[in-house]
Amino acid sequence: MYESDADKTKEAMQAMMKKGPVRLMMIAAAIIFILVFFRPWVQVGAGQRGIVLNFGAVQKQVLEEGLHLRIPVMQEVAIMDVKIQKAETDAAAASADLQDVSSRIALNYHVVPDKANVVYQKIGIQFKERIIDPAIQEVVKAVTAKYTAEELITKRPAVSEAMRVALSDRLIENNIAVDAFSIVTFSFTKIFTEAIESKQTAEQLALKAKRDLDRIKIEAEQKITAARAEAESLRLQRANISPDLIELRKIEANMKAIEKWDGILPQVTGGGAIPMIGLGGETPKRIKP
């Protein structure tokens, strides 16, 4: 009897030894299934934030970049991009002088990272269509109405800065920060554009005419100055003429005449007198042969 009980116990132990690896494999398979199917973790990538949802309710906790654990079934994590994004929007408005103005606005923005859960809860992930585009339209209309069409061109940096400040104040209320703002294009009606071109042409012609007139005035003043200088020089020369100077000029003239004489006496008919060149202003005398 005892031998029979021992045999049964031995067989039971052997059976358990055979079933052990199978059970371990089943447990491991169950664990792998749970990990794959329920995924009790979440990975938040670079430039992203994770919004924790407990049965769909947004929580205050915002998950930063990296790997995080979650409770399967109970918790879900929505991923939101908080990197700088670009939006381009077409806007139509009217200037202060009632000119139609079409513009294209480029905006760089990002969701405030710490407020990603609030943005997700109140706006969702379509915040560009719901918040940004309407805000750009309203700001462009409000600022454009303060300037004339010509000022929108000549004061473009000031207009752009006014729009940027107004848009920043409006979007930050929804936890969206403005990084850069620029007016890509301003366009007006064809009639107004032609009027602007005509005005610029007229201004350029007027400027050219003014420059020509200034040049003529300067040249005339230069001629007057030169004439006055010449007249003053002649006046000073006349003032400096004296009898001694006149006598000196006569001597210089006689010396030049002597230098030019070739040594041949002129042949004279009649009295036969030899003409002599007068020196010192005296009347030439004739020498009889």
pTM over 0.85: no
| Residue 24 reports pLDDT greater than 60 | yes
Residue 93 CB contacts under 8 Å (≥ 6 apart), including other chains: 101, 103, 140, 141, 144, 145
- Quick one: average pLDDT of 216-242? 75
- Per-residue pLDDT tens over the stretch 154-206: 899 999 999 999 999 999 999 999 999 999 988 887 777 666 667 766 667 77
Q: Which of 58-72, 135-149, 208-222 has the lowest mean pLDDT?
A: 208-222
Q: Considering only CA atoms, which of 245, 268, 246 is closest in space to residue 284? A: 268
**Confidence (pLDDT) at 62:** 92
- Could you give all domains of the chain from N- to C-terminal order, each with its CATH number? 2-81 (no CATH), 85-188 (3.30.479.30)
284 — phi, psi (to 5°)?
-60, 145
Q: What percent of the chain has pLDDT over 70?
A: 69
Confidence of residue 2 (pLDDT cuts 50, 70, 90): very low
- Quick one: average pLDDT of 131-144? 94
**Confidence (pLDDT) at 16:** 54
**Confidence (pLDDT) at 17:** 53
The two structure tokens encoding residue 142: 């409000």
**Confidence (pLDDT) at 161:** 94
| Residue 286 reports pLDDT greater than 60 | no
* Burial readout 242-258 (b: 16 or more C-beta within 10 A, e: otherwise): eeeeeeeeeeeeeeeee
For the chain, percent helix, then strand, then coil, each to nearest 5? Answer: 55, 25, 20
Confidence of residue 40 (pLDDT cuts 50, 70, 90): confident
- Quick one: average pLDDT of 12-26? 61
The two structure tokens encoding residue 70: 């979650």
Comparing 223 with 42, which gets the higher pLDDT? 42
